[in-house]
């Protein structure tokens, strides 16, 4: 019995040591990584699929709904207002503007490659793209509507009603709209980036500067949190892990508390879903509050507050070149 207890304790200690193991950078403090799936192991970075198989009719219907302002209470705000497809899937504002000119609390993340996040929203509260739809629709600072209102308006559109009834046996109901929107979002994949080609063996896909950035990305420990097919989106992490971010930025707001607002667990205070880095060069401003204007600045802030590293200008240039290859 004592031998078994000793083995169990040893296994627990080894697990904790691995979870909190510091990266290879001298002087960097231990990094807590909380997996969305409940596991602490790191995923490798893999290429985005070069094609996805979806029902083209549902994709087209979802695209139509994505651009339809009738999903909002006053018929002024569509999903596409905050997730502009021609601008990297974001609106490039610190926070988005909803109905009546109301301002949101958090920066709008990109909708591209969103299907490869383990969960949705900065606090990870939605377990699927279908569940995510309800968030902006009900949020009073965004669309400020509800399904009864939305369905009532759309039922007056005979053509749209026929299209939905042809695809969904249940007809024009909330579940049908959720599915169509989620199917469209699953189609928003951006394959064949230079880094994807590099991962598939193309030795010429990355510039020498980007290759150095990829090396640094791994050696500094960035890859501890930013991995998986979306180079992020599958872990939770605290902002200000090594140094007090809010001590520099200013007094935290309620929105800065992150997952704590959802769980009320003190361990989750200031903790957010690690943002995916695909197309990150197109999605400024950065961080959950949109407080960082440029990618250069974001790289330096992450190195300082998450890893305890002050980067040299050349290292910033290399890391940005790598991120641009995503």
Catalytic residue among 41, 130, 142, 324: 142
Scanning the chain, the segments in alpha helix (DSSP H) are 2-19, 56-66, 79-82, 129-132, 134-138, 147-154, 158-167, 174-186, 194-199, 208-220, 245-249, 260-263, 295-302, 313-324
Three-state secondary structure call for residue 279: coil
243 flagged as catalytic: no
Round to whole Å and give the CA distance between 176 and 245.
Answer: 42
Q: What is the dihedral of CA 147, 153, 154, 156, to 10 degrees?
A: 140
Q: How far is CA 13 from CA 6, 19, 20, 104, 152, in A?
A: 11, 10, 11, 43, 58
- Answer whether 109's CB lies under 8 Å from 289's CB: no
First to last CA, the chain: 53
Which DSSP helix (H) or strand (E) runs through 34?
Answer: strand 34-35
For residue 260, cis peptide bond before it (omega within 30 degrees of 0)? no
How far apart, in whole angstroms, are the C-alpha atoms of residue 120 and residue 122? 7
Angstrom distance (rounded) from CA 41 to CA 324: 26
User: Residue 235, SS3?
Assistant: strand
Q: Any idea what the Cα angle at residue 228 is, between residues 13 and 107, rounded to 5°?
A: 105
Q: What are the residue numbers of the active site?
A: 142
């Amino acid at each position: 019995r004592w031998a078994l207890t000793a083995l169990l304790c040893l296994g627990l200690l080894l697990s904790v040591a691995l979870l909190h193991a510091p990266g290879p950078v001298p002087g960097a403090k231990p990094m807590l990584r909380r997996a969305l799936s409940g596991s602490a192991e790191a995923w490798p970075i893999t290429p985005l699929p070069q094609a996805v198989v979806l029902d083209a009719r549902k994709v087209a219907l979802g695209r139509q709904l994505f651009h339809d302002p009738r999903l909002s209470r006053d018929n002024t705000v569509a999903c596409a207002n905050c997730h502009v497809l021609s601008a990297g899937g974001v609106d490039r504002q610190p926070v988005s503007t909803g109905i009546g000119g109301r301002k949101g609390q958090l920066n709008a993340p990109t909708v591209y490659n969103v299907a490869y996040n383990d969960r949705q929203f900065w606090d990870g509260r939605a377990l699927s793209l279908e569940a995510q739809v309800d968030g902006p629709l009900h949020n009073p600072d965004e669309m400020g509507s509800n399904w009864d209102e939305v369905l009532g308006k759309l039922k007056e559109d005979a053509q749209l009603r026929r299209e939905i009834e042809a695809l969904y046996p249940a007809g024009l109901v909330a579940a049908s709209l959720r599915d169509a929107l989620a199917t469209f979002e699953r189609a928003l994949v951006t394959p064949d980036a230079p880094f994807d080609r590099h991962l598939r063996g193309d030795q010429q896909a990355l510039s020498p500067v980007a290759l150095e950035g990829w090396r640094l990305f791994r050696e500094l420990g960035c890859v501890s949190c930013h991995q998986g097919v979306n180079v992020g989106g599958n872990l939770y992490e605290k902002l200000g892990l090594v140094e007090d971010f809010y001590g520099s930025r200013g007094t935290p707001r309620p929105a800065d508390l992150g997952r704590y607002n959802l769980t009320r667990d003190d361990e989750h205070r200031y903790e957010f879903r690690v943002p995916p880095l695909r197309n990150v060069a197109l999605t400024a401003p950065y961080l959950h509050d949109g407080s960082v204007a440029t990618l250069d600045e974001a790289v330096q802030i992450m190195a300082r507050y998450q890893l305890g590293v002050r980067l040299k200008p050349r290292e910033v240039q290399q890391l940005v070149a790598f991120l641009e290859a995503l």
